[in-house]
């Protein structure tokens, strides 16, 4: 009988625990990712110089990542190529990991993601989101070969960065609903395995009662973000984790740069899409989860007026040509959008 199966490209190692960063040196050696010790580390702006000593990897070449731009990523990529390193570890938040993933891909070397915040699902994904002169772009890159999440460092991340990824991962429910809608309306093929991973990840966070910043909650959130990234790798696109919710996030980013983080806006976009879809159960579940974690639910929570938010909704489909979601299905006029936005804000429970 033929053995019919598909092979999945998955990280060699997933290490989520307090103090995980100290195991980085052993991880690189044990898994033969870097056998000669020619390792580079790329540090985000929030990381002190002393971190290199905590890593226990001899004397790595240290690079600083100052921002999340395509220019920074290309510069780092050239430096990694010039130094002929065996591997690079990106240590920091979402932007640092995105920059390092792109640079590693450019240099053709393996990348280890060491997350110090849980702001979005890029920690294990094959996508790098970078700023450029005309806004922000998503670039397909190789997935990290290992993912390390140090819960001690996540817990001490500033402000909402520790947990904004809650918004990004629960947005999978909206993304999957959009994918199913597209299958029904346009015949787009669904990947059931990618859906299973993306939806299970979202449900785990939605139903997780643990206190914010407790090890129990942060572990579930980190694992859900990793699964979400792998769902994208399985699907070969961001489809399982990005629907109308992310179109809204991209539109707000383009029209009103600097409004809020990726995860915060993805959660808000998902809640609005659930409202448009008239899925009362999903709307209530998302609203309660975002509210519980202090994440934005109303445009006013991110400092946008209702007309500003309505403008972003109108612009959203143009941010991702070819992706069919509830926004493309309804194709609302400006007047209808304004009315729906007002009704939406009234529908958010206190």
Strands (DSSP E) found in the chain: 13-17, 39-43, 61-64, 87-92, 111-115, 127-132, 135-140, 146-150
Which of 115, 60, 113, 104 has the alpha carbon at shortest distance from 81?
104
Look at phi and psi of residue 331 and say left if phi exceeds 0, alpha if psi is from -120 to 50, else beta.
left
Whichever of 27 and 115 has its CB closer to Zn ion, that residue is: 115
What b/e sequence results for 287-309 when a residue is b if at least 16 CB atoms lie within 10 Å of its CB, and e otherwise?
bebbeebebbbbbeebebeeebb
Shortest spacing between CB 171 and Zn ion, in angstroms: 7
Smallest distance, Zn ion to C-beta of residue 249, A: 7
- Give min distance, CB of 124 to Zn ion, in A: 12
Residue among 246 and 311 whose Cβ is closer to Zn ion: 246
* Closest CB to Zn ion: residue number: 168
Our CB check for Zn ion shows the closer of 110 and 267 to be: 267
CB-nearer residue toward Zn ion: 154 or 266: 266
Which one, 89 or 266, has the nearer CB to Zn ion?
A: 266
Contact positions toward Zn ion, by CB under 5 A? 168, 266
Least gap, CB of 175 to Zn ion (angstroms): 9
Does residue 223 sit in helix, strand or coil?
Answer: helix
The HSE-up count of residue 302 (CA atoms within 13 Å, CB side) is 27
Give the distance, in angstroms, between the CA of residue 52 and the centroid of all CA atoms in the same chain: 26
């Amino acid at each position: 009988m033929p053995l019919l199966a598909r092979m999945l490209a998955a990280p060699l190692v997933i290490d989520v625990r307090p103090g995980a960063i100290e195991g980085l040196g052993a991880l690189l050696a044990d898994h033969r990712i870097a056998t000669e010790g020619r390792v580079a580390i790329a540090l985000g702006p929030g990381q002190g110089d002393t971190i290199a000593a905590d890593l226990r990897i001899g004397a790595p070449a240290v690079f600083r990542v100052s921002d999340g731009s395509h220019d920074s990523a290309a510069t780092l990529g050239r430096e990694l190529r010039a130094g002929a390193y065996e591997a690079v570890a990106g240590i920091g938040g979402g932007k640092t990991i995105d920059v390092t993933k792109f640079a590693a891909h450019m240099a053709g070397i393996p990348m280890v993601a060491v997350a110090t915040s849980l702001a979005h699902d890029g920690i294990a994904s094959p996508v790098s989101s970078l700023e450029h002169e005309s806004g922000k772009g998503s670039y397909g890159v190789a997935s990290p070969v290992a993912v390390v999440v140090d819960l001690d460092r996540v817990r001490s991340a500033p402000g909402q960065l520790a947990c904004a990824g809650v918004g990004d991962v629960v947005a999978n429910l909206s993304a999957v609903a959009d994918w199913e809608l597209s299958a029904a309306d346009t015949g787009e093929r669904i990947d059931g395995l990618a859906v299973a991973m993306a939806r299970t990840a979202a449900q785990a966070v939605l139903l997780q009662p643990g206190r914010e910043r407790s090890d129990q909650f942060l572990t579930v959130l980190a694992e859900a973000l990793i699964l979400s990234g792998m769902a994208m790798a399985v699907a070969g696109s961001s489809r399982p984790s990005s629907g109308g919710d992310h179109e809204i996030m991209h539109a707000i980013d383009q029209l009103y740069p600097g409004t809020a983080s990726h995860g915060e806006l993805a959660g808000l976009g998902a809640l609005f899409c659930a409202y448009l879809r008239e899925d009362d159960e999903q709307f209530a579940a998302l609203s309660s989860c975002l509210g519980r974690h202090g994440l934005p639910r109303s445009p006013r929570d991110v400092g946008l007026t209702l007309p500003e938010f309505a403008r972003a909704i109108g612009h959203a489909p143009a941010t991702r040509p070819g992706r069919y979601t509830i926004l493309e299905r309804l194709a609302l006029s400006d007047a209808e959008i304004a009315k729906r936005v007002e009704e939406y804000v009234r529908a958010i429970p206190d």
